[in-house]
Amino acid sequence: YKNGKYLRANKNTLVSLNEKGDVELTLAHVMPEDAGFYSCIAMNEAGRAETTTNISVVTKPYENNGGNEKNHTSDE
């Protein structure tokens, strides 16, 4: 779940079971809108377990070269 809504697997969101039997969530090509509260709920005849974590997305600052762009042509 993401922010209380069911999270569907797609090309950028993968839920898998690793060799130790742990479930892993992989987010590819992370964007700021991927930030939020992610929850995993497991249920069976023995009961129910839930865990939630908050994922923050920190973006790389925009690099401005101070307007020193140079235009290059094939004649230079």
The pLDDT score that the predictor gives to residue 63 is 73
25 contacts 15 by C-beta, under 8 angstroms: yes
Cα dihedral 62→60→71→66 (10° resolution): 40
Q: Is residue 70 very low, low, confident or very high in pLDDT (cuts 50, 70, 90)?
A: low
pLDDT digits (tens, 9 = 90+) for 8-66: 989 999 999 999 999 899 999 999 999 999 999 999 999 999 999 999 999 888 777 66
8 contacts 2 by C-beta, under 8 angstroms: no
The pLDDT score that the predictor gives to residue 76 is 46
Residue of 12 and 74 predicted with greater confidence? 12
Residue 41 sits at φ, ψ, to 5 deg, of: -120, 125
The pLDDT score that the predictor gives to residue 72 is 47
Residue 34 sits at φ, ψ, to 5 deg, of: -80, -10
